[in-house]
């Protein structure tokens, strides 16, 4: 019998640590497939961040470094400057990237570091138990915004792709999601393109992925996917924010 589909060799055999219905797992698969298809697994170094994806160093079948909370882009800079021909990527949540690590991320982008950032925006702090994130929506109840996020008290959700599109060093920036199969296919295309740009030495690439956290959102996995589509997408519209195309060298 012919094997039509199998687990990508870009992932190890370790069991994923994510909650049932969480879309971190899908995103892992898309990243791993992209690296496998580009034939670069053996020269890739991934940077795991602090958040639910901290254990991604056990899952991606490549060399990995686990970085301090928010510092993934700084660690990635260190690796990439030493091994410019390696493929270097970070995998970060919204607390890690958009809050504590915003400076490291902006400056890596501004230097045009030739790395790829996989930015998983689930509008909440998953790992620490559902606290408010910089990307939480107005009105969203979390364990530290029990009355819902308010503009006056907390400010509005931070829109990373909208901000980063204005940074010179960014070569490619797209916001995607994984709430239905069509979106998953599109997310895969975007991720693979970002890595291809890195291989072509075009500069900083980031894919923001709207992702679910059914557990801390208090929703079933299906309702969580619906919430991405109906509540998150209007605030965080999908699409290409920047595509510099030509080489940045």
Partner 1 sequence: MAKVLMKGNEAIALAAIKGGCDAFFGYPITPQNEIPEYLSKYMNEHGKVFVQAESEVAAINMVYGAAGAGARVMTSSSSPGIALKQEGITYIAGAKLPCVIVSVMRGGPGLGSIQPSQSDYNQATRGGGNGDYHVICFAPETIQETIDTMKEAFDIADYYRNPVMVLVDGLIGQMMESVDFDRPIKQRFLPPKDWAASGTKNHPGRNVINSLYLEPKDLEEHTLGLHKKYQSVIQNETRYEMINMEDPDYVIVAYGTMSRVARSAIEMLEKKKLKVGIIRPISLWPFPKQAFKEIGPNCKGILVSEMSLGQMLQDVQIANKGRLPIAFYGRVGGYVPEPEELYDAILNFKKWEVLD
Ligand X SMILES: Cc1ncc(C[n+]2csc(CCOP(=O)(O)OP(=O)(O)O)c2C)c(N)n1
Please give the residue ranges that form the binding site for partner 1 (CB under 8 A): 12, 41-45, 47-48, 54, 57-58, 61-68, 71, 74-79, 81-83, 86, 103-104, 106-107, 111
Beta-carbon count within 10 A of 38 CB: 16
Among 11, 22, 27, 178, interactor with ligand SF4 by CB under 6 A: 22
Applying CB under 6 A, does 227 fall inside the site for ligand X? Answer: no
Among 172, 216, 232, 244, interactor with ligand SF4 by CB under 6 A: 216
Which one of ligand X, ligand SF4, partner 1, none interacts with residue 174, CB within 5 to 8 A by kind? Answer: none
Applying CB under 6 A, does 93 fall inside the site for ligand X? Answer: yes
Smaller CB distance to ligand SF4: residue 52 or 118?
52
Q: How many helices (H) and strands (E) does the chain have?
A: 11, 7
Among 122, 140, 142, 161, interactor with ligand X by CB under 6 A: 122
SS3 content of the chain, % helix, strand, coil (to 5): 40, 20, 40
Applying CB under 6 A, does 18 fall inside the site for ligand SF4? Answer: yes
Rg over CA atoms, the chain: 17
- Paired tokens of 116: 């790829």
Applying CB under 6 A, does 134 fall inside the site for ligand X? Answer: no
Helix (H, G, I), strand (E, B) or coil at 149: coil
- Paired tokens of 214: 């059914």
Which one of partner 1, ligand X, ligand SF4, none interacts with residue 83, CB within 5 to 8 A by kind? Answer: partner 1
What does each C-alpha distance from 240 to 133, 181, 194, 247 come to in angstroms? 24, 19, 12, 18
Smaller CB distance to ligand SF4: residue 95 or 169?
95
Phi/psi region, residue 139 (left: phi>0; alpha: psi -120 to 50; beta: rest), is left
Q: Which residues bind ligand X (CB under 6 A)?
A: 50-53, 69, 93-96, 120, 122, 124-128, 133
């Amino acid at each position: 019998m012919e094997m039509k589909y199998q687990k990508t060799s870009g992932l190890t055999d370790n069991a994923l640590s994510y909650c049932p219905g969480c879309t971190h797992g899908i995103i892992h698969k898309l990243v791993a497939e992209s690296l496998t298809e580009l034939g670069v697994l053996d020269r890739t170094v991934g940077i795991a961040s602090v958040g639910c994806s901290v254990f991604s160093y056990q899952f991606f079948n490549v060399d990995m470094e686990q970085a301090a909370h928010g510092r993934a882009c700084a660690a990635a800079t260190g690796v990439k400057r030493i091994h410019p021909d390696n493929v270097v990527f970070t995998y970060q949540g919204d607390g890690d990237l958009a809050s504590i690590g915003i400076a490291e991320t902006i400056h890596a982008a501004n230097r045009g570091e030739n790395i790829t950032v996989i930015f998983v925006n689930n509008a909440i702090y998953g790992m620490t138990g559902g606290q408010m994130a910089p990307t939480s929506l107005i009105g969203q109840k979390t364990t530290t915004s029990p009355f819902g996020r308010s503009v006056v008290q907390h400010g509005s959700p931070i829109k990373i792709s909208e901000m980063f599109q204005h940074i010179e060093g960014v070569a490619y920036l797209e916001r995607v999601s994984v709430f239905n199969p069509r979106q998953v296919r599109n997310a895969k295309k975007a991720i693979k393109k970002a890595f291809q740009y890195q291989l072509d030495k075009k500069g900083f690439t980031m894919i923001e992925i709207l992702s679910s956290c059914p557990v801390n959102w208090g929703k079933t996995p299906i309702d969580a996917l619906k919430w991405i589509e109906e509540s998150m997408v209007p605030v965080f519209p999908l699409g290409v924010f920047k595509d510099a195309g030509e080489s940045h060298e």
